Structure 1
Amino acid sequence: MTEGRRERKKQRTRQALIEAAVELFEAKGFQDTTVAEIAEAADVSTRTFFLHFPTKEDVLLANAEWRFDLGVQAIAERKAGESVADVLRRAAQEMITDAWQTDLPDGLAALRARLIATVPALQAGLAQRLLTGQAVLIDAVHQSFSDQLPVIDAAALVGGVLGAINAAALVSLQRGDGPDDVRAAMSRALELALGTREIGTGLG
């Protein structure tokens, strides 16, 4: 099997596990669903489950690392003449689009938003991933603009953007918005954080 085929098979298995987990969490509840049941529903072994996810909480946090990698890549591809705001906007939009294409359509983001208030392990896992990803993005922005942007300023800008996007997504998901509306809420929050949109305009 070629490397490309192997990777595609791996991604199909991972997606099958995510879809099975979401369906079972919705039907039985998060606490009452076991890893063995998720694996069986995805037609794989429990061992295969653990090759993809350390715990069942990690299924709900799938794609986080990849999403931050997309942001870092976008920052690394800074074009001549781009401002810090330009680069941050492009990086954030890459991350928002990925969420819209993955977590939002399959119900993963909505389920995560509902469970975040009641599952301490999920809260801890999400916080850890956000902090790790934020640190990586801060370093990427600082390195890209090291001649003009102190690291504290980079931290404030990245923290403001991520905080705004995540807060808007959470509220939008918790009120039952669909994928397109959640994406619009995140994009609007991004522009508010960058100071390019007036507060209170276009309220949903």
Structure 2
Amino acid sequence: MAIQDEAGSLRERKRRRTRSALIDAAAELFARKGYDETTVAEIAAAAEIGTRTFFSYFASKEEILFPDSADRVRATLEAIEARGPGEGPVEVLLRAVREISEADADMVSPMAAVRTRLMRTVPAVQGRALLIQQAAQRDIARQLRDAFPGELDAVRAGALVGAMTGAVGGALQALLEDPETAGELAADPQRLRGRLRSATRAALEPWSGRPG
């Protein structure tokens, strides 16, 4: 059993390394060549794997641009489910942002900087980003409303989650497009995470009062 567990652990570590290599290769190629000009075959070759293997990790070039979006939604839903007795909706969402920003390297990664730029310039990426955001907001708002039925209706829950995702997205865009903070990305990602959390807190705190 121990040998089987070790073999499984080795396989999982290899998969994580290969996945990370693919994401890093894609970020570098997208930044250097452009999104439309980069092929899946080139990404796979840069990561030293075959093209068929690429598709066992990602379904498309678009998907590799958003490698951890589903994990962020899942983590937010889990944070809502694990709410403490004294936590209101705003406190739960701020805790989720804090926990995700600490654990999720993709939020302040080189791929995040590339993704931010491509979302402004490539229609296919813009469309994919909008679909991901809308689905995430819908699922999170539904869970938040169900968690606080006496305080939130569907409209207020949707607006609150929209404020959160808008704050995170807007802050990340401003941080990653600023030449000064671009240097921080490599030098001090923890400071960048702190600025992201501070901006999100400023956007959500006005929602912390009782509904009118």
Output the CA distance in 2 between the equivalents of 1:141 and 1:72: 8
Output the CA distance in 1 between the equivalents of 2:192 and 2:126: 21
In angstroms, what is the RMSD of aligned CA positions?
Answer: 2.0
2:135 aligned residue (113, 132, 135): 132
Matches within 5 A, 1:1-204: 2=5, 3-99=8-104, 101-105=105-109, 107-176=110-179, 177=181, 178-179=184-185, 180=189, 181-195=191-205
Output the CA distance in 2 between the equivalents of 1:5 and 1:133: 32
Output the CA distance in 2 between the equivalents of 1:38 and 1:83: 44
Shifted more, 132-141 versus 179-188: the winner is 179-188
Corresponding pairs, count: 195
Output the CA distance in 2 between the equivalents of 1:122 and 1:154: 27
CA offset digits 1:32-84 (Å, max 9, x no partner): 21100111111111111112212112211111111111111111111112122
Output the CA distance in 2 between the equivalents of 1:145 and 1:5: 42
Structure 2: which 5+ runs fail to align? 207-212
Contact 1:134-1:158 at 8 Å conserved across structures = yes
Output the CA distance in 2 between the equivalents of 1:191 and 1:185: 10
Output the CA distance in 2 between the equivalents of 1:134 and 1:167: 15
Output the CA distance in 2 between the equivalents of 1:31 and 1:149: 43
Output the CA distance in 2 between the equivalents of 1:41 and 1:162: 33
Compute the TM-score of the two structures, normalised by the length of structure 1: 0.87
Output the CA distance in 1 between the equivalents of 2:135 and 2:103: 18
How many angstroms does 1:170 deviate by?
0.5
Structure 1: which 5+ runs fail to align? 197-204
Output the CA distance in 2 between the equivalents of 1:97 and 1:120: 30
Contact 2:101-2:107 at 8 Å conserved across structures = no
